[in-house]
Amino acid sequence: MQSLQHKAAELLGSNRASVVIGYAEGSDGRVRPHFARTNDDAKALVWDQRCKQNLAVYLTKHEIKEMGPAAIIASPAVVRTIVQMASEQQFVRSFPITLVVDNDQVTELNDGPSLEAFATSHPVLFPSHVTKEVEDLAAMSVADRFAFWQEEFSRCFKCYACRSACPLCYCTKCITESNQPQWVTVAPHALGNFEWHLNRAMHLAGRCIQCGSCTLACPAGIPIALLTIEASNIVQREFGYQPGIKADAPAALSSFRVEDKEAFIR
C-alpha cells in the first residue's frame, strides 16, 4: 500500500497528475472512490480485494477532465476499459497514467502498447458462478431465456445505477432521456423495462469489457451484466472482435469491410 501512496504523491508533487483516482476506506468496512489531489489525500489511498467497482467510469466525467491530467489505479478490467475507450477516441491528447499494483509493486502503463500488452496477458476471469450462469443462459431455449429475463426485469425500477456504474455508458445524453421522439417508454413496467435493457445491451454489444460493475451496482439484485457479457461473446464469435484488447481496432458494430457477407452493406 505504501508504494502506491508514494507513487500517487510523487505524481501529484511533480504535477504529472492533478488527480489520482483510487479507493479510500469508507463506512462499515467498505471502500469508496477517492480522488487524491494532495499529498495528504494520497496517504488515504487503499487497494485490496474490496476494490471491485470499475473506476474508469470517472475518466469521462467533465468534473474529472476539468481537473487536468488524471492517474488511475487500475485492475485488469480498468485497463481493458481504458483500451476500449481509446479505441472509441475518448482520450484526445494522451492516455491517463494507469497504475497497476502487484505485490505492493506499482507499474505505470502510459501508452497503447503497454496497456494492450497488459490487457492481453490478463484475460477476463469471472468467478466460477458467473461463467456458469453465462453458459447456462446460452444453453437455454429462446423461450426459457425470455422467461428468465422477464422474471429478472420485473424487479427493475429504472434507477439507472447500472448505467451510472458502467464506464462504457458515457454518452452525455442517453437514449432513455430522449423524449422527442420518446424512444424508450419511461415507466418501469414490462414493456418499458424490456425496451430499456435491450437498448442498453445493443449499445454495449461488442463494447462491454465484462467488468461486472453494473451487476454489483444493481439494488434489485438483477444479474444485468449477463446480458451484455453474452452480447459481447456473440460479437466476438461472429466478428472475431474482442473489446478492450486493441486501442486502434475499429469497433465491430460501427465499421464494415466490403467483403462482409451482408449484401445490404455493398
Q: Which three cell numbers stand for residue 111?
A: 501508452
Query: Can you spell out the DSSP letters for 72-122?
Result: EE--HHHHHHHHHHHHTT--SS-PPEEEEEETTEEEEE-SHHHHHHHHHHS
Residue 234 engages ligand SF4 in binding (rule: CB under 6 A): no
Q: Which stretch binds ligand SF4 (CB under 6 A): 23-31, 37-45, 66-74, 203-211?
A: 203-211
Please, what is the minimum distance in Å from the beta carbon of residue 96 to ligand SF4? 17
Residue 36 engages ligand SF4 in binding (rule: CB under 6 A): no
Q: Which three cell numbers stand for residue 69?
A: 491530467
Measured CA distances, 67 to 36, 57, 98, 124, 191 (Å): 11, 16, 17, 31, 41
In the complex with ligand SF4, which residue's Cβ is closer, 8 or 225? 225
Site string for ligand SF4, 37-76 (x = CB under 6 A): -----------------x----------------------
Residue 98 engages ligand SF4 in binding (rule: CB under 6 A): no
10 Å Cβ neighbour count for 233?
A: 18
* Binding-site size, ligand SF4 (CB under 6 A): 26
Measured CA distances, 261 to 185, 206, 256, 257, 258 (Å): 34, 18, 10, 9, 8
Contacts of 67 (CB under 8 A, 6+ apart): 18, 19, 35, 37
Residue 82 engages ligand SF4 in binding (rule: CB under 6 A): no
Residue 210 engages ligand SF4 in binding (rule: CB under 6 A): yes
Site string for ligand SF4, 155-174 (x = CB under 6 A): -xxxxxxx--xx-x------
Can you give the binding site for ligand SF4, defined by CB under 6 A?
54, 156-162, 165-166, 168, 204, 208-214, 217-218, 220, 222, 224-225, 228
